[in-house]
Amino acid sequence: MQKVKIFDTTLRDGEQSAGVNLNLSEKLEIAKQLEKLNVDIIEAGFPAASKGDFTSVQKIAQTIKNCSVTGLARGVISDIDAAWEALKDGAEPRLHTFLATSPIHRQYKLKMSKEEVIETAVNTVRYAAKKFPIIQWSAEDASRTELPFLAEIVEKVIQAGAHVINIPDTVGYGTPQEYGQIFKYLKERVPSINKVSLSTHCHDDLGMAIANSLAAIENGATQVEGTINGIGERAGNAALEEIALALHIRNDYYKAATRLHLQEISRTSSLVSKLTGMIVPANKAVVGRNAFAHESGIHQDGVLKEKTTYEIISPELVGVQTNSLVLGKHSGRHAFKNRLNELGLSVPEEEIKTLFTAFKDLADRKKEITDEDIVALVLGDRLSAEERFYELIQIQVQYGTNQVPTATVTLTGLDKEIIQEAGTGAGSIEALYNTLEKCVDGEIHLLDYRIQSVGAGRDALAQVYVSLKYMDTETSGRGLAQDVLEASAKAYLNAINRVIYMKNKVPVLNVVN
């Protein structure tokens, strides 16, 4: 059985999804869960991009011990130095460096000849080899690169010290047959190819990221790159949970396996969805809400008689819980803490007391507290004290079918001063957001607003996700409350606080790979 390594880039390529901005505590939470999932490599970020990214990569490398942590670097010496400083304390520091190779990138982006591209790639890999025990080199836009040139540069970077060669389908252009043939060609034409591992990294612009990744594995790739839930640039990356399940369920065909703890898939998917604000579609393979739902009478009859008639993946295999322990207002701190551990939520001891108080407050208003409620409570808005610039004190909204909706807001400002404003709008949310904008310095453009319930019932918590543009920066925010308007206000301020905090960093570079 061929072993396929899982290279997770949720925290790097995944965070490049439009409107997604994770802070340090959120990235650490995801990294710890990826470690529980048992991925082989975590790409924690791009250290040279900003102070925030450097700190995140450094902290993750220092925290994670059962996975190799890597950081991205362009073919630039200063990028490699920054990556080493961030990763050197990790259990197995590795570098992921890249350079574009396709004609369109060479001509328009790099403005380099083939010879210059080869020289740059070789020099940076050779330099990195003095520091890093493991170097991965990626040929950006490899699927649109002339095969003889691709083979030539791959051979030379292997000779320079690369250990892993990544062949990205950067813009999702390839078809499974074409993309698989690239790996076959390299295996046949590159003399030193057996000295390295071949990796696949596919984007989903034409909806073929999973098919292309599997085609690469069939043709010699021993490492597959992707993200949880398939998030990422444009249409996203290959969804790692789908690849892992395809290899597991069809091991008779692929004769390949990963080391993933499959029962952690559902929990990992849910965590990434909540923290990024990117909701998993109900019909999403493996982790969608409807993945194990059967409505057709014929299907229901078949499943009742024998599950495998219409269910090739059991819910338990990916960690979908068929029942949940219900806590209530009479539950004690020990039961609450025990449930946090069972749910895999890593909460510092000093935060348990605050969370338990919030849990008891919620239990007084809500008859039953489910696992979903507890997860939502723990994740909250995940902003540290230094990231909370504006804080909500009170809102009041007046609405009637024959009156103009009016909102009154009280909050603390940048210097902890009390700010009070009132405003109107065509609806309750617009009135609230118009009023909040009056409280904040600068113009705000709301790009997206989404609301979903946490669990079921009339007393379900409301979880609001917003995407907005503030100070020329797009970001997302989320808020949680039993009241829809309160959750909406919290999400709006959460996004604004993130932008203000980000403005203290070096501007982030836009990287695709």
- CATH code for the domain of 446: 3.30.160.270
Mean pLDDT of 308-321: 88
Residue 302 lies in a domain: no
Domain count, the chain: 3
Helix %, strand %, coil % for the chain, to 5?
A: 45, 20, 35
Residue 485 and residue 469 share a domain? yes
Q: What is the pLDDT of residue 310?
A: 81
Mean pLDDT of 451-462: 84
Q: Which of 347, 379, 411 is the last residue of a domain?
A: 379
What is the layout of strands, in order, in the sheet containing 473-481? 444-454, 461-470, 473-481
Of 393, 329, 321, 397, give the one whose Cα is nearest residue 363. Answer: 329
Residue 455 lies in a domain: yes
Residue 404 and residue 255 share a domain? no
Q: Are 19 and 474 in contact (CB under 8 A)?
A: yes
Residue 326 lies in a domain: no
For the ranges 230-234, 357-361, 370-374, the lowest mean pLDDT is seen at 370-374
Dihedral, 416, 417, 420, 426 alpha carbons, nearest 10: -40
For the ranges 190-204, 214-228, 306-320, the lowest mean pLDDT is seen at 306-320
Residue 139 lies in a domain: yes
Residues 6+ apart with CB under 8 A from 253: none
Residue 411 and residue 482 share a domain? yes
Q: What is the pLDDT of residues 410-424, one digit of tens each?
A: 999 988 999 999 999
Residue 369 and residue 253 share a domain? no
Residue 234 lies in a domain: yes
As a whole number of angstroms, the distance between CA 483 and CA 480 comes to: 8
Residue 145 and residue 239 share a domain? yes
As a whole number of angstroms, the distance between CA 162 and CA 164 comes to: 6
Q: Which of 233, 256, 276 is the last residue of a domain?
A: 276
Residue 244 and residue 130 share a domain? yes
pTM metric for this prediction: 0.86
Residue 147 and residue 203 share a domain? yes
Residue 114 lies in a domain: yes
The pLDDT of residue 509 is above 60: no
Give the residue, 11 or 303, on which the prediction is more confident.
Answer: 11
Residue 169 and residue 43 share a domain? yes
Domain containing 362 equals: 333-379
Q: What is the pLDDT of residue 257?
A: 96
Residue 64 lies in a domain: yes
Residue 370 and residue 389 share a domain? no
Residues 6+ apart with CB under 8 A from 296: none
Q: What is the pLDDT of residues 265-297, one digit of tens each?
A: 999 999 999 899 898 999 999 999 888 876 566
The pLDDT of residue 325 is above 60: no
Residue 348 and residue 241 share a domain? no
Residue 436 and residue 363 share a domain? no
The pLDDT of residue 508 is above 60: no
CATH code of the domain covering residue 260: 3.20.20.70
Residue 418 and residue 271 share a domain? no
Q: What is the pLDDT of residue 329?
A: 74
306 burial via Cβ count (<10 Å: 0-12, 13-18, 19+): exposed
Residue 207 lies in a domain: yes
